A and B are shown apart, each in its own frame.
Chain A
Amino acid sequence: MTRPVRVVIAEDSAILRDGLVQLLVDRGFVVSDAVSEPDALRRAVERDCPDVVIVDIRMPPTFTDEGLRAAIDLRRLHTGLGILMFSQYIETRYASELLADDAAGVGYLLKDRVADVSEFVEALTRVASGGTALDPEVVTQLLGASRRSDSISVLSAREKEVLSLMAEGRSNAAIASELVISEGTVEKHVASIFTKFDLPQSQSDHRRVLAVLRFLDS
């Protein structure tokens, strides 16, 4: 049996913090600490060396983007630490700051997503193991605001679906099961998207997420 994933939670709302602990423990995670402010988060990561942290963006003292600042610091200090940003709003600016250099082990989800427990747990696991999990809302906003609407409009409807799921950080297998098609078909769609965008094919999931996001954001 694999080692359980170790998590630190930083969330200032007690109700949500307790709820998350309950949920994660129930699903077999080890919650090594649950804190309510950024400095405590830094200390907890230093001490417990978790696989992944769940960080609320708005935390004391100013309730703006302390969580994000702390997360960016932590990422620089602890390579391989997965970071799942957790917020009630999606701001694409935050997403692009977080993904500035690498998409490996980064997630950004709306808090609502915990309602679909299995999907949330799956996203957290993905981030913990170096993958990417972007909220569909982030992807929608990126697609909507993208100046590459010409390139996007040449995609077929199916390819657009695949693009969105790919940008969320899903693997080919996950995309295949979500769209109820074979993995081979997904691969074909992905190849076609990269050809249409004139991007080099990437092997790993998080590299191709970054390639797609950079393309949409440029």
Chain B
Amino acid sequence: MVIVVSEELETRVREIARTILRTPFTKRTWSELCFLSVGAVLAFFGFAFVVLTMAVGVVFAITFFGLAVIGLSLRGARAIGGVQRRLALGLLDEQIDDPDPFAPRRGFLGWLQSALRDRTGWRAMAYVVVKVPLAIFAIFTALSVWFDAFTCLITPLGGASQPHEFGLVRGLFPPGYFSIGNTGGLHGLAILCSGVVLFFAAPWGVRVVVYIDRFLMRALLGPDAVAVRVRSLEHARAQTVDASAATLRRIERDLHDGTQAQLVALAMRLGMAKEKLADTDHLDLDQVSELVNDAHRGAKEAIIELRDLARGIHPPVLDIGLEGALSTLAARSTVPADLTLTLNDRPTPAIESIAYFCVAELLANVAQHANASRASIICTQHSRWLRLVVRDDGIGGAQLSELGSSSSGLTGLTERVHAVDGRFEIVSPLRGPTVVTVDLPMHA
């Protein structure tokens, strides 16, 4: 009989075997072991500190002294959390962001109030408390395996008859389980073999426990959800402020270089014409008429520039609603574009404006870069969300960063989309098609 082992299976088995054989000798394994050992010691000291201070605090809770001790206890838990974070970073490469620093209010009462209401402190305390059972679990299931592995490896050398096992292995396999006979060379060899097996198994138990600890640390020692939200809102606000400052700067530039320059030139020509008309002795009507003609043309150009600029700030067509505005955009697009729009409600003006400028920028990008023959715009409502999909049949390969660099407008737009908690997604494989999806809340 021939056992046919598929090549794929063979490579996988070989890979797994290699991993098992290598793992005990990797830096990660020993770092994790170190983390668990140090962490266990820290856990017991931390727990003792917390229990002691909290007990005193609760007993005297009726007085300020008791409350102050509870406050100190929380501050201590915070500090333990900090040590734990550094330990995680140093040994596990686990980057946990620091929570916001403790910022007490003024005075003793202020400090007390801030300390007792410090969510970070309470969460760190929860970690310290939960860490104790985890540490006990770690000692009996993970650290014990390492211990057993070494005792099994050392026992035959020292000539002792039985290894001193404890924890998980002892529980699963009673003493003498591995031995063949009670003494002799064969017995020693059996113990040694079980030591080798345990040596290769031990890292995995540690890894599991460390995995649980990583999860706990991320949940309890990092910045809490509210703080994270506040940070992301602050970031979004900063971006919005920057974007609007940039917009104002762009408008100023456009006015300065366009309309203002046009009007200065216009005033200059009229000034020249006026002085020529006043000089009745050398009146040259042809010259005057040329100047007035130039001025007239300049005035018309200034009007057009001003109108384009005004439309760029707020398109008046938006006032009649998104449908009319988007269909105007689709009609003006150089690449033929179809619009499908189904909205039950009208989004708020800010959202309509973002949606409008997104479509305008995306259509402009399609015209410039996509080399497409058709584009489509689909605008739909999913309960409280507005979804915009702009698709083209062009060459694809578009990336947000590229689009951003080729038109600063789109970078500003993604920032505006994120500022209202929206999403901006671009899928553009080589040879196309490119599909850009923008999700916006209906009300913002």
* Residue ranges of A at the interface with B (Cβ–Cβ < 8 Å): 12-13, 15-16, 18-20, 22-23, 26, 58, 63, 88, 111-112, 114-118
Contacts and interface: CB of A to CB of B under 8 A. Distances in A.
A88 B271 contact: no
A15 B272 contact: no
B264 A111 contact: yes
A116 B269 CA distance: 10
Interface of B: 253, 256-257, 260-262, 264-265, 267-272, 274-275, 298
A88 B265 CA distance: 12
Contacts of A88: 256, 260, 264
A63 B253 contact: yes
B272 A112 contact: no
Contacts, number: 46
Given A13-B261, A16-B261, A115 B256 contact: no
Nearest to B249: A63
Contact of A114 (B260, B262, B264, B274): B264
A15 B267 contact: no
A112 B268 CA distance: 8
Nearest to B274: A117
Contacts of A118: 275
**Residue among B262, B265, B270, B298 with the most chain A CB within 10 A?**
B265
A34 to B, nearest CB: 14
A15 B261 contact: yes
Given A15-B261, A116-B271, A118-B275, 12 more contacts: A12-B257, A18-B265, A19-B268, A23-B272, A63-B253, A88-B260, A112-B264, A112-B267, A115-B267, A115-B270, A117-B271, A117-B272
Contacts of B270: 115
A211 B302 CA distance: 42
A90 B267 CA distance: 19
A19 B269 contact: yes
A112 B266 CA distance: 10
Contacts of A23: 268, 272
Q: Which are the 10 A-B pairs with shortest beta-carbon distances?
A: A115-B267, A13-B261, A19-B265, A114-B268, A115-B271, A117-B271, A15-B265, A111-B264, A19-B268, A16-B261
9 contacts: A12-B257, A20-B268, A111-B260, A112-B267, A114-B264, A114-B267, A115-B264, A117-B275, A118-B275
Contacts of A115: 264, 267-268, 270-271
B264 A26 contact: no
Contacts of A16: 261, 264-265
A115 B272 CA distance: 8
Nearest to A121: B275
Contacts of B256: 58, 88
Nearest to B290: A22
A1 B275 CA distance: 23
Nearest to A56: B261
Contacts of B272: 22-23, 26, 117
A104 B269 CA distance: 30
